[in-house]
């Protein structure tokens, strides 16, 4: 090996190290990519809180909203959603009414819950001249997804009725759906239908959204579309506490934050807000791969989400949640204090931590320059 070659070797090594470090920095500090979202919701207060987060998040673009047959009556859910958009000064997002009943069964949320939608759940919302889409929710979903240049994520915060209808009516949209990110199900924990109905519905294994329309859930989980399911296993770890409300009250400055404060009831859970936050920041929950089978017609088990252990994975399921991180992100975004936690590329392997220090880049580049200059000087002297 010549003297000149011996001098070039360390330069080449340092250059490779520098390029590697620079690539790591680029990967770790990249800006969150835009997520185009169609929201299918049953327009309950926690749905609206989740919607506030999605509308406020700089990386999320909501392209349309469908109303499902859930906690709210569909027509009232449409009008309340339009009034929420009016409250925020938003007039360019279409809102459409979905099917008024489940596909097959006659299941419904308790009448007293649904009738609360008639007075907007006591929320102070402005009147609006905005009108709903002439299309129904499934038609709107198909139209917007088919016409989108990029793939669309469907965020489902209620029963899966509208989504099942859309997938059956236009199977070609499956290739344009990035994933269905939904709130629902219970894998290793008890369901909430029986307890929350006071035993009037003796089903203790299903979660409400799955129970209301189990046939729709069955269609969606068999569709082959990627699914992330934020189950009760995860939402049970994020209760609404008095401490949360006190904390939010002390910092809230935006219309979204004030709305969430008024819409949040201590003693419930952040079902839909956790679903929204885990879309942009999957590290807030722990995901597991499962094959989920929906129980359709077994008495008092309808809507149960069984992890069968057989068959290929058809859902990534959130089974745990970090309440502190969730609250930090939720309050931060709705209140306009935007955290810098990056989107995790793969939800099954959440990561944490911030970008590498810019000083590292400077140090690496400086080291390369020093070695290169020294080598040139040495070669000239030789």
Give the pLDDT confidence score for residue 338 in this predicted structure. 65
Q: Specify whether the CB–CB gap between 186 and 278 falls below 8 A.
A: no
* Ranges of each domain in the chain: 1-30+359-382, 34-341
Tokens of 190: 């008890």
Give the pLDDT confidence score for residue 25 in this predicted structure. 38
Read off the pLDDT of residues 113-131 as tens digits, 9 standing for 90 and up: 999 999 999 999 999 999 9
For the domain made up of 34-341, the CATH class stated in words is alpha beta
Cα(95)–Cα(84) distance, integer angstroms: 11
Count other C-beta atoms under 10 Å from residue 146's C-beta: 12
Chain-wide mean pLDDT for the chain?
86
In the predicted structure, residue 22 carries a pLDDT above the cut 60: no
Read off the pLDDT of residues 29-66 as tens digits, 9 standing for 90 and up: 345 689 999 999 999 999 999 999 999 999 999 999 99
In the predicted structure, residue 364 carries a pLDDT above the cut 60: no
Give the pLDDT confidence score for residue 15 in this predicted structure. 39
The residue among 123 and 21 whose pLDDT is bigger is 123
Mean pLDDT across the stretch 245-262? 97
Give alpha helix (H) positions in 231-314: 232-235, 242-251, 255-263, 271-280
**Per-residue pLDDT band at 337 (split at 50, 70, 90):** confident
Count other C-beta atoms under 10 Å from residue 380's C-beta: 7
* CA-only gyration radius of the chain, Å: 25
Nearest to 61 by CA among 41, 32, 98, 89: 32
The residue among 167 and 350 whose pLDDT is bigger is 167
Give the pLDDT confidence score for residue 20 in this predicted structure. 45
In which residue are the tokens 């990534």 written?
316
User: Where are any strands of DSSP class E within 126-215?
Assistant: 152-156, 177-183
Cα(378)–Cα(219) distance, integer angstroms: 72
Cα(48)–Cα(80) distance, integer angstroms: 9
In the predicted structure, residue 328 carries a pLDDT above the cut 60: yes
**Per-residue pLDDT band at 1 (split at 50, 70, 90):** low
In the predicted structure, residue 18 carries a pLDDT above the cut 90: no
In the predicted structure, residue 7 carries a pLDDT above the cut 90: no
In the predicted structure, residue 159 carries a pLDDT above the cut 90: yes
Mean pLDDT across the stretch 308-324? 94
Residue 231 — left, alpha, or beta (φ > 0 → left; ψ -120 to 50 → alpha)? beta
Read off the pLDDT of residues 165-200 as tens digits, 9 standing for 90 and up: 999 999 999 999 999 999 999 999 999 999 999 999
Nearest to 43 by CA among 136, 102, 118: 118
């Amino acid at each position: 090996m010549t003297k000149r070659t011996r001098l070039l070797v360390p330069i080449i090594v340092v250059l490779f190290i520098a390029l590697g470090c620079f690539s790591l920095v680029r990967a770790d500090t990249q800006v969150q990519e835009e997520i185009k979202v169609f929201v299918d919701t049953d327009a309950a207060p926690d749905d609206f809180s989740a919607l506030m987060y999605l509308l406020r998040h700089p990386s999320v673009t909501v392209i349309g909203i469908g109303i499902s047959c859930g906690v709210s009556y569909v027509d009232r859910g449409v009008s309340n959603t339009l009034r929420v958009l009016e409250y925020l000064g938003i007039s360019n997002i279409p809102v459409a009414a979905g099917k008024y009943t489940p596909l097959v069964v006659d299941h419904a949320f308790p009448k007293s819950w649904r009738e609360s939608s008639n007075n907007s759940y006591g929320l102070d919302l402005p009147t609006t001249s905005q009108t709903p889409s002439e299309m129904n929710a499934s038609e709107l979903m198909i139209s917007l997804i088919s016409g989108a240049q990029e793939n669309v994520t469907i965020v489902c915060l209620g029963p899966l009725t509208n989504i099942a209808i859309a997938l059956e009516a236009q199977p070609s949209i499956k290739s344009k759906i990035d994933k269905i990110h939904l709130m629902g199900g219970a894998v290793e924990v008890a369901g909430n239908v029986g307890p929350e109905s006071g035993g009037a519905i003796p089903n203790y294994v299903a979660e409400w959204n799955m129970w209301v329309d189990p046939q729709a859930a069955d269609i969606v989980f068999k569709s082959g579309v990627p699914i992330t399911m934020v189950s009760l296993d995860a939402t049970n770890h994020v209760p609404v506490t008095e401490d949360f409300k006190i904390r939010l009250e002390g910092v809230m400055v935006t219309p979204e934050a004030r709305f969430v404060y008024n819409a949040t009831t201590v003693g419930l859970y952040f079902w839909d807000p956790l679903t929204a936050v885990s879309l942009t920041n999957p590290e807030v929950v722990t995901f597991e791969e499962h094959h989920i089978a929906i129980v359709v017609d077994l008495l008092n088990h309808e809507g149960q989400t069984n992890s069968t252990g057989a068959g290929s994975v058809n859902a990534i399921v959130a089974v745990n949640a970090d309440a502190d991180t969730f609250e930090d992100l939720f309050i931060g975004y709705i209140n306009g204090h935007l955290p810098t936690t990056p989107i995790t590329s793969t939800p099954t392997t959440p990561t944490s931590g911030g970008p590498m220090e810019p000083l590292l880049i400077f140090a690496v580049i400086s080291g390369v320059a020093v070695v290169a200059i020294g080598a040139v000087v040495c070669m000239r002297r030789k």
